[in-house]
A and B are shown apart, each in its own frame.
Chain A
Amino acid sequence: MKKVLAIVLAMMLVLSAAAMAETVKIGVFEPASGDNGAGGKQEILGMQYANKETPTVEIGGTTYDVELVYADNGSDTTKAPSAASSLVDAGVSVVLGSYGSGVSIAGSDIFKNAGIPVIGVTCTNPQVTEGNTHYFRICFTDPFQGPVLANYAYNTLGATTVYCLGELGNDYDQGLIKYFVDPFTALGGTPIQESFPTGTSDFTSYLTNAANYGAQVLFCPVSIAYATQIIQQAASQGVGFTLLGGDTLDSNVVAEATKGTKVELTVTTFYQEGANPDFDAGFKAWLNEDSEALTNNGGNDIISAVSIMGYDAYYTALEALKAAGSTAPADVMATLPSVVYDGVSGHIEFNETGDAKRDSAVVKKANTETGDWEFVTTQTVE
């Protein structure tokens, strides 16, 4: 009896394996909770949409089903390594993420030791890819974004004093502020830097500081959670300066916070809605069909740049898998430097450090009447 059972079970195992199509796993290393949870979820939305659009990939003549494996790094550098390990254990071929440079850096070594390549989606801190052969990235970096912002603040906004506010110990905030301060000082401006401890919700005194220093611009490249607080409190204090932010502030949640206020908010980012109408229409239709996706997007169908980046990252990973002709992480890693892909956000090609060659950033402004983003200009640096 036991033998028969064993044979039946073995048969079932073989049959089910044969019936199932081959699967290739792509790891999604993103925050779904914590300060960056909102941003991480929007980045995942892009990947999910791309996965729905193209759920299979042909690798070496066989059609594989693409499975997204999620790991929530909780926007927390102490949780990031265990989230990374769970992806390694799941046997993923390539990893996408993360939103937030700090967690990317924290998880990096786990992937490095496992020999799994990672494609950074919107982590802009240079340390993410520097000295790593396994970490690639499809977005611009802070050494590019910082000077763009500094130039914009000094030349376009006409600011001579800028109050820079970042979260203590946050790699992204402090990194971008550093890359902003140097060129801004070189232009002849006076930057003032201050940091707030993690978990702060009372920004009124920092805003008073900015006003007392006579700043014309408040540069706050902080997480979405803090940005919305800063905007609301700036609105109730009736501040006279402009708020300036980096790519993290490009979220409909942030733009929504300015609605009905007199706060001026300008950010640099990767993409502006409307640049690719076909994509926009398809993505919006999907959001409106799927109530969970709509909730994850902050309750409306405004497209965040991070979603587009997530979408492009997914296709870049598929290109790499196709070119590698294998699902082995080592083969994918060897192929990635030569991968070229024309995405919605532009042309993607990696340089020797593994960063995408990007030379332009989109500048956009929050419309305080509609709570939507408005295109201002495309800023290029030679």
Chain B
Amino acid sequence: MWNTVFPYILSGISVGGQYALIAIGYTMVYGILRLINFAHGDVFMVAGIIMVYMAASGVPLWLCIPLVLVLTALIGFVIERVAYKPLRNAPRMSAMISAIGVSYTLQNLVLYITGGLNQLYPTIPWISDSMTIFGATTKVVTVVTPILTIVLVVALVQLINHTKIGMAMRAVSRDFETSQLMGIKINNVISITFVIGTFLAGVASILYFTNYTTVIQTSGAMPGLKAFVAAVFGGIGSIPGAVVGAFIIGIAENIIKGLDIILFKLGVTSGPMGLATFSDAFTFALLIVILAVKPTGLFGEKITDKV
């Protein structure tokens, strides 16, 4: 039984870790700006494309990885300055529409550059190797992902709770105007939030595309959406919530893909029922259920109306 179920859990933990890293970007930006940054999934995809082109142009891989992370963070910074900052005092809806615009701009830019063809992600040594763990064969990256995710999240939580900039972030997320009056440069704080969020998306892209090696302009859409669902599930605005939500979604969707055979081996069903088809439907059904039952998510803060 364990041998049957374990590979699915392993896939789930791995993909969950990648969703988690993307989800943190959603949740941090939402926490500070109350903005759903729809372009986040596409930044993740662009990070993949940058890696493909950089490796193809002959830059050594050990240099590619830090460069990709820096460039991705830079893209996040530029997007915020160009598309969101001018709309700081506009209705929240305008910034969200601007985010959708950025998302399509990035997708079409990549479509133009790649000609709409799949790009093969470069093979990163060691993490691309195969390994066997508890009888299941997989890539090293599958095991590295959850560990790296947790290390990064712990570091991030420390940053937010125990540093000056972290305190500034918490203050800005509570009250824009007051924190400005207290001498916090909110534009800098918001930029740093975007830089951290996109940096993590860059890390996620390296892990994700090492596992699933093709990058195309729509590659960011699905992981982005699922990470968003994970962020809502965990309570948008909460970093631990986003991580827990992402792992739950990753594991659940992979178990659903294998549910037919698991039930069959348990003797519950007598043959395949085609449940694997519903793996994505599950994720989005979960979003509806959560919004209906517990709109603030698992770890979400209670909404207190400021009079």
**A contacts, CB < 8 Å to B:** 32-35, 37-38, 41, 74, 168, 192-197, 199-206, 208-209, 212-213, 224-225, 228-229, 232-233, 235-238, 253, 257, 295-296
Contact = CB atoms under 8 A, between A and B. Distances in A.
Given A37-B117, A228-B120, A236 B279 contact: no
Contacts of A232: 212-213
Nearest to A199: B222
Nearest to A72: B116
Nearest to A210: B261
30 contacts: A33-B111, A33-B115, A33-B116, A37-B116, A41-B115, A41-B117, A74-B116, A194-B260, A194-B274, A194-B276, A195-B276, A197-B279, A200-B222, A202-B211, A202-B254, A203-B212, A204-B254, A205-B11, A205-B254, A209-B257, A212-B258, A213-B261, A228-B118, A232-B213, A236-B138, A237-B138, A238-B137, A253-B118, A257-B120, A295-B115
B260 A209 contact: yes
B212 A212 contact: no
Interface centre among A74, A193, A204, A295 (most CB of B within 10 A): A204
B214 interface: yes
Contact of A205 (B8, B118, B212, B280): B8
Contacts of A224: 118
A205 B115 contact: no
Contacts of B136: 208
A209 B214 contact: no
A208 B11 contact: yes
B15 interface: yes
Interface residues of B, number: 38
A195 B257 contact: no
A32 B7 contact: no
B130 interface: yes
A188 to B, nearest CB: 17
A236 B219 CA distance: 21
B170 interface: no
Contacts of A295: 115
B277 A168 contact: yes
Contacts of B15: 202
A38 B120 CA distance: 12
Given A37-B115, A201-B222, A237-B138, A208 B213 contact: no
Interface string B1-19: 0001001100100010000
B139 interface: yes
Given A33-B116, A225-B118, 15 more contacts: A33-B111, A41-B117, A74-B116, A199-B218, A201-B214, A204-B7, A205-B11, A205-B254, A205-B258, A209-B258, A209-B276, A225-B216, A228-B213, A237-B130, A253-B118
Contacts of A168: 277
B88 interface: no
Nearest to A195: B277
B101 interface: no
A253 B213 CA distance: 13
Closest 6 CB pairs of A and B: A33-B116, A205-B257, A201-B212, A208-B7, A238-B137, A204-B11
Given A236-B137, A237-B137, A206 B276 contact: yes
Interface string B107-141: 00001000111101000000010100000111100
Contacts of B128: 236
